[in-house]
Amino acid sequence: MGWEWEAYVYMYKWDNSKISGILFHFLTGFELTFFSGVYGTSVGHTHAFGSDAKSYLALCGIFIGLGEILGKVTILLLVNYLESKYCQLYRNKNAT
């Protein structure tokens, strides 16, 4: 087992980390379900938009997809940056 998994297991020994981890996964699931299924349907069935409601539904789906892609790319770049900056310090500290 690598040092990443050891750090992960060590972090989850604390009660606050368990609670925040469970809440994070729970709330992320609700958010993803809402924007993937409920929000687009709500926009498509809104009578205030008139006959343009179906075109707004398509635009809504496109922008939600773009937002998910940009969010994932941003997180990936941030994780790579932080890992290159701080994990090297952790590896050097444990090597001595």
Extents of the domains making up the chain: 3-95
Confidence band, pLDDT 50/70/90 cuts, at residue 74? very high
The pLDDT value given to residue 66: 92
Structure tokens at 82: 């932080």
The pLDDT value given to residue 73: 92
Instruction: Tell whether the model's pLDDT for residue 92 goes beyond 70.
Output: no
- What pTM value is reported for the model? 0.58
All residues at 6 or more sequence positions from 91 whose CB lies less than 8 Å from its CB, including other chains = 3
Instruction: Tell whether the model's pLDDT for residue 75 goes beyond 90.
Output: no
> What single-letter amino acid sits at 48?
A
Distance in angstroms (rounded) separating the CA atoms of residues 54 and 61: 11
Q: What angle do CA 79, 80, 85 make, to 5 degrees?
A: 100
Instruction: Tell whether the model's pLDDT for residue 71 goes beyond 70.
Output: yes
Distance in angstroms (rounded) separating the CA atoms of residues 93 and 51: 63
